[in-house]
Structure 1
């Protein structure tokens, strides 16, 4: 899924290429995370204690907290490793590339590889995390208010830093619009996955919607929504 506290929670990383100590650390983190998600999915977030997770993962309670400082981090930590992705996409864009294009291409590429951060991923653990967030008020608040606001602040700061005029208002407005597009698209992909669509089957529609959504920011809404006489 993503990195958290120095380890990768996804299945794609080549662990065999890493030193033994780092490999064991990553494997322990993955085991704790996956154990927690399974227990939360079975019984609910509030009904499972950190002590129970530690016992099921065969580690100490202190070890769990070394990897995940709070119980909420057991679910939200991996997601929050993506907080600075929009800002990095802007920072790393090629000369002459607009912020809208940079973020659009970044999101489209992530969709193509079924990155869980796009919402387009039907892995069982990913779906369990999505369901948990939707079913647990504390996690839902952190996912929307906390996650969204932090990402927006980082993106606005990057946009302003790269603007010769350092226009803070325009940077904040642009960041809000761009992240609203991302969150809308991610939410739509979550609904597809929770409705039972496969990521492969949903990909064409997800790509089309992403292109249309970013185009609305790139070209502006104009007279959209104007009342007819």
Structure 2
């Protein structure tokens, strides 16, 4: 979801795995440069392979779809809301955890929140393929959030409270993401966007306080909120 390379830390990896990671990053970086220079739709897999100095088949082995080369942090994006809820403090509601996580992301100008930079934002906006894929990723993020909400509340995956809470929280994050992209394309600096989004997020999340104030905060919160959401 970003034009910047990321470094993964953790347990040491073997030489073979390290080489695979290097090759994947090399291909991703070459693709990003071409996408930004000449547009996503206009760039071919063959051109990416040539720029990365690998075979065309190697590119498709690492990236099954062309859009995966541009939106190459999809798992981190689709899992971000679910991870925040799963890792929330004991007794903390899903809303409180997600609200604070978004505030932190805005302060850090996190690409997962939408701070991708003007060139990348323009590339996505100009590409029907990438725009459609991004909508799919927002949908997948909501689905993963709903799954975690169901697990943490002990409700069935198709429970109306789970689906409504996930839809409300997912919609706010989608709207705020789009707003960051809009302001980026309008030429705003990240610092100015962060100031604007702090107020926008405070308002948007505030609208969810009444229906979701205690949702997923603990075993005793489930039944009450289920009734609230049915009103």
Instruction: Give the TM-score range, shorter chain.
Output: 0.7 to 0.9
Pair 1:157-2:147 in alignment: yes
Report the secondary structure of 1:46's partner residue: coil
Q: CA offset at residue 26 of structure 1?
A: 3.3
Corresponding position of 1:197: 188
Pair 1:129-2:131 in alignment: no
Corresponding position of 1:95: 90
Q: How has the CA–CA distance of structure 1 residues 211 and 20 changed in structure 2, closer, same or farther, with 3 Å as cutoff?
A: farther
Among 174, 177, 182, the alignment partner of 1:183 is: 174
Q: Which runs of 5+ in 2 are unaligned?
A: 212-231
Q: How has the CA–CA distance of structure 1 residues 183 and 32 changed in structure 2, closer, same or farther, with 3 Å as cutoff?
A: same
CA distance in 2, matches of 1:212, 1:21: 49
Pair 1:83-2:78 in alignment: yes
- Report which stretch shifted further, 171-180 or 81-90: 81-90
Corresponding position of 1:224: none
Residues 168-215 of structure 1, C-alpha deviations (whole Å, 9 max, x = no match): 101101101101110111111111211222212322222222222111
Q: Highest relative contact order (Cα 8 Å, sep 6+), 1 or 2?
A: 2
Pair 1:216-2:207 in alignment: yes
Contact kept, 8 Å, 2:28 with 2:72, in 1: the verdict is no
Corresponding position of 2:48: 53
Contact kept, 8 Å, 1:86 with 1:151, in 2: the verdict is yes
Q: How has the CA–CA distance of structure 1 residues 198 and 31 changed in structure 2, closer, same or farther, with 3 Å as cutoff?
A: farther
Pair 1:110-2:105 in alignment: yes
Q: How many residues align?
A: 210
CA distance in 1, matches of 2:14, 2:198: 38
CA RMSD of aligned residues (A): 2.7
- Report which stretch shifted further, 185-194 or 165-174: 165-174
Pair 1:43-2:38 in alignment: yes
Q: Which runs of 5+ in 1 are unaligned?
A: 3-8, 221-229
